[in-house]
Amino acid sequence: MATSVLRRNNVQLLGQGEQTIVFAHGFGSDQTAWRHQVAAFKDRYRIVLFDHVGAGKSDFAAYSPRRYSSLYSYAEDLLDLCAELKLRQCTLVGHSVSGMVSLLAALIEPQYFKLLIFISASPRYLNDVGYIGGFEQADLDSLYAAMSANYHAWASGFAPIAMGNPERPELATEFANTLAAIRPDIAQAVARVIFQSDHRAELPRLKIPTVILQASNDIAVPNEVGKYLAAHIPQSQLVPIDAKGHLPHLSAPDVVTQAVATCLAV
């Protein structure tokens, strides 16, 4: 079990310290996206990095559309990892979809977590009555069609929009490269699972203290979403950060690192 879990998710252990931070990446990314934060925290904290199945250097053979048909399966993988490493009361920093993955994991096995930090997280991407998620179904259908027609062309076009820092094209290139590294069939299936998900009903059940880091000009997660999370998670705090785009840990690493450090110091 140990070998299979650690290999499946390409688990890496770094740093030293009594407290553990688990960094969980978002869609189209992998654990290398956390390199700036790892450099900042590895001298004082034990750090756990991993790749979701289908991303990075995870075991692609472990992926199946049936197994990963909802975010609960990714939450189960996270709990497998926590159990194998015998984690307790760790801090989990989850980017994008990993925010809701960590929320679901914390609802099932809360003893593993003492603090959740969401970066660009959303419980629902579709607009609804009285709710602004950022997308209409027609928007998402167009996105799926573009991914299906020419995945690599879609990745090259989507990356700069998601990154949101046009004056620094190298950031978009990095994100495009990690997007392109995903098998197109997996990327399309995972995108549908993420964008069609709705976990608003689970938010009030979360009992773990949660900090919501919200950047500006995020195409996937409007400011209204951050406010919605803060209003519906009982022990939560919304912290606007001076960063733009959907991947602030890459585009404004010092800002995100300082925000995380402030959370850890409380």
Residue 246 falls in the annotated catalytic set: yes
From 30, 51, 80, 218, active-site residue: 218
Which position among 25, 95, 199, 246 bears the catalytic label? 246
Query: Virtual CA dihedral for 189, 192, 195, 196, nearest 10 degrees?
Result: -140
Residue type for position 42: K
CA distance 105 to 22: 13
Determine whether 25 is an active site residue: no
Is 118:239 a contact under the CB 8 Å cutoff?
no
Reported in sequence order, the residue ranges of 102-253 that DSSP labels E, i.e. its strands, are 113-119, 210-216, 236-244
Nearest-angstrom CA–CA distance, 25 and 143: 21
Active-site residue (options: 29, 58, 73, 96): 96
Q: Determine the number of helices (DSSP H) and then strands (DSSP E) in the chain.
A: 11, 7
Active site residue 185: no
Residue 62, C-beta contacts closer than 8 angstroms, at least 6 positions apart: 8, 53
Catalytic amino acids? 96, 218, 246
